[in-house]
Structure 1
Amino acid sequence: MGSPVHDRPSRAEKTRQTRRRIVAAAADLFLDQGYGATTLDQVAARAGVAVQTVYFHFGNKATLLKEALDVAAVGDDEPVALLDRPWLEELAAEPDPVRVIELWTTGGLEIMGRVAPLLAVVRGTVGTDPDLAAQWDVNEGQRRTAFRALAGLLADRAALRPGLTVEDAADLAFLITSAENYLVATGTLGWSPQRWRSTTATLLARALLGDDDAAVVTRRW
């Protein structure tokens, strides 16, 4: 007898598995040899599919890079936006501003480890590729939206440093936790990811929070 029907992957699941292989292959190649040097034929070969399959699912290389960035940002290909992820829902419900900073930097560390190297690929070619320049702008806009949400959470808890507006707080957080700074810290400076997290938590607290809360973060980290 054949295998039970429920043991066989559905067509939709097979499609998702194929897309995952293609995205993973593309991300590896972009990191290994750069965006410009990577061809869709190479992506197809590494993913073990026909190049027509790559075109069918993604259409072009720029769309494939966008998908790779989206997957890196959230850690999977589930159709759930970053701001709707469980760790951010926990953060949004947290009343303690010190814990908000701690949760943010812990989650941010996981995201940076996945997405910062790919963002560096995009950043290095924005001057020569209009599609990548547009993608960079989209990603920067998404990050700014996330940091405005963080600043808004702190403002709702009356935790922002006196005189600091939500917009200025978002700008400071955006600057402190940029992908470029993460790559410099963990690459050029040789910091461990954990040192980046603790330093970032301290800098965010000193820049955004009142003195008492900032002192708590500094002592903990």
Structure 2
Amino acid sequence: MHLVKDQVKADARAEFGAARIARTEALVVAAARELFLEHGYAATALTQVARQAGVAPRTVYVRFGTKAALFRRVIDEALVGDAEPIDVAHRPRAQDAMTARTLAERLNALADVTVGIADRAGALLEVAAQAEGAEPEIAEAAQSGRRETARLCREFWSRAAHDGLLESTVDIEQLASTTDALLCADTMVHLRRVHGWAAAEYGRWLRTALVALGRTSG
């Protein structure tokens, strides 16, 4: 009986400790996001983040290690919209883009996912573009993200073809590369910088382009 009680107490302590860590990390991530957006990557120091979050500098270093690692955490949470360890590709709306009944429904879901990313992370992706030249870790993460976007675009059209939603004569690779160019983070950043587009403008442009692409392939 004592062993059971001791285990229950240990489990409760562990749960409380995990919740406290999660709260602390959430405070740090929120503070870092605000500072990165306000000052940019280079001008933001971890000591500033700690001050903004109301925690000791050592806490930030222990939980995240480096500024690059903290920035990647900020970006990762912005991409999906929360701190849950589920990437964009495995979120429900992204799954709709791969499995919906019609090509139009899949393209609409794909647009929803991408516009959501632009809304939550567009400004941070611009900060990331500025940081790539100075931080190899961020540069590698950005390149990995580009490869993943390209892979998902290829998978999107391959599944559509497999499910009989495309004309047999369409070029899957051409569709995939065109879609990749529409969806990739570099395009979002370019449109923000050159045209001043926020997520709403990007979304209208993207949906029009995807509908046109669907008409040529379905």
Query: For the superposition of Structure 1 and Structure 2, which TM-score range results when normalised by the shorter chain?
Result: 0.7 to 0.9
Aligned to 1:44: 50
Secondary structure of the equivalent of 1:25?
helix
Secondary structure of the equivalent of 1:206?
helix
Aligned to 2:25: 19
Deviation at 1:203, TM superposition (A): 1.1
The reply on whether 1:130 has 2:136 as its aligned counterpart is yes
Aligned to 1:199: 205
Distance 2:27 2:49 in 1: 9
Aligned to 1:118: 124
Distance 1:163 1:28 in 2: 49
Aligned to 1:216: none
- 1:22–1:47 CA contact under 8 A, matched in 2: yes
Distance 1:169 1:28 in 2: 37
Secondary structure of the equivalent of 1:113?
helix
Secondary structure of the equivalent of 1:78?
coil
Aligned to 2:5: none
Distance 2:190 2:87 in 1: 28
**Greater CA deviation, 142-151 or 188-197?**
188-197
Aligned to 1:218: none
Deviation at 1:64, TM superposition (A): 0.7
Secondary structure of the equivalent of 1:124?
helix
Distance 2:52 2:166 in 1: 49
Distance 1:187 1:212 in 2: 31
**Greater CA deviation, 62-71 or 174-183?**
174-183
How many pairs does the alignment contain?
A: 206
Change (3 A) 1:157 1:197: farther
The reply on whether 1:80 has 2:86 as its aligned counterpart is yes
- 2:75–2:121 CA contact under 8 A, matched in 1: yes
Deviation at 1:153, TM superposition (A): 2.8
Distance 1:198 1:160 in 2: 24
Distance 1:154 1:202 in 2: 19
- 1:25–1:46 CA contact under 8 A, matched in 2: yes
Deviation at 1:211, TM superposition (A): 3.6
Aligned to 1:179: 185
- 1:162–1:210 CA contact under 8 A, matched in 2: no
The reply on whether 1:152 has 2:158 as its aligned counterpart is yes
Sequence identity percentage: 27
Post-superposition CA distance 1:153-205 (Å, at most 9, x none): 32223334664433332211110123343345466545564443232122123
Taking structure 1 as the reference length, what is the TM-score of the superposition?
0.81
Distance 1:110 1:188 in 2: 21
Paired amino acid for 2:202: W
Distance 1:31 1:190 in 2: 16
- Structure 1 gaps, min length 5: 214-221
- 1:185–1:196 CA contact under 8 A, matched in 2: yes
Cα root mean square deviation, aligned: 2.5
Post-superposition CA distance 1:47-87 (Å, at most 9, x none): 11111111111110111111111101110111112221111
